[in-house]
Amino acid sequence: MNQPEYKTDYCGIDVSKSTFDMFYLNKSHVFKNDVEGFSKMKMILQEHTHCVMEATGPYYMNLAVYLHSHGVKVSVVNPLVIKRFSQMRMLKAKTDKADAKLIALYGEKETPALWQAPKPVLVQIQQEQAVLEGLLKQVRMLKNQMESILSQPYKSQSAVVALDLMIKNAERQAELIESSILTKVEETFPKEVELITSIPGIGIKTAVALLVATDAFSRFNNGKQVASYIGICPRVYQSGSSVKGKGAITKMGDARIRTLLYMGACSAKRYNHGCKNLYDRLVQNGKAKKLALIAVANKLVKQAHAVVSNNEMYNPEYNFVLNRN
């Protein structure tokens, strides 16, 4: 006997620090962004509901975890995806209420993949990564300030001493946080770290960033999906048979990971067999060197996914996904 088909009702949610707007069944609602608000919202939802929200900093996580733990279908979407969906349909959402309605429409039209709650340790690592990034920015700012003072003919010794202490303290805290991140990743993904760092061009920092961002690639079927998620896929502007512009990356994901991969590509084009062949071929065919490096970074992502999926160390002679363009 065939099971009856049910219509999915999409619920668009726009989350801010203290409240969240919901558009559901053609009605708008506003709730507090806390457990009490989550509970009130849950009481409104019917059985066949699919909630869609943007990944807005840390503010969406508690609500997403709450809904997921209560059996509600949830999708968490990159805000840039919603923005481009709006632009393609020439829609302008200028209020939280309108944003929630737009997100609901996106869910209905695009049926986004279901969100999976991250491992608690991954959330902890992401928090530490955010703190580390802030500390490193602080160090750069303080060093610039120190350089400015030292370049002047008249210097305050008290200012120099204070800055020196602040720089050393921030650097020490950054080292502690970085050590904590590395320990957590090596304890959580010991084999994956070994596999990925066997690839020429991928060091421990890049390996850590990839594993944390993708949960060791567990949510992806192939390297192309990972590259798209990170935003390292080349984008070409084309109209009819004409290709316009030199191309660029999609920039849909984490900019920090893209930077690490680009830096790794500079090494991989020399020491990674598959990447070197790809880079040389593209440059010889007239591609800009920057675009060729982006292609190499893309290949590094695919190689990382391949070695983890196949549970095999990098082997330049093994001609599967590793050395295919």
Q: For the chain, which ranges sit under pLDDT 50?
A: 236-247, 320-321, 323-325
Distance of CA 53 to the CA centre of its chain: 16
Alpha-carbon distance of 36 to 82, in angstroms, equals 28
Is 41 within 8 Å of 62 (Cβ atoms)? no
For residue 163, what is the enclosing H or E element? Answer: helix 157-188
pLDDT at 89: 82
**The tokens of 152 are what?**
């002047």
Closest CA to 105 of 174, 31, 26: 26
Residue length of the chain: 325
Q: CA distances (Å), 84 to each of 93, 129, 224, 285, 303, in order? A: 12, 28, 20, 32, 29
User: CATH assignment of 9-110, given 3.30.420.10, 3.10.20.30, 3.40.250.10, 3.40.50.300?
Assistant: 3.30.420.10
- The answer to whether the beta carbons of residues 77 and 55 sit under 8 Å apart is yes
How high is the pLDDT of residue 291? 93
Dist. CA 33–CA 257, nearest whole Å: 30
Q: H or E stretch including 12? A: strand 9-15
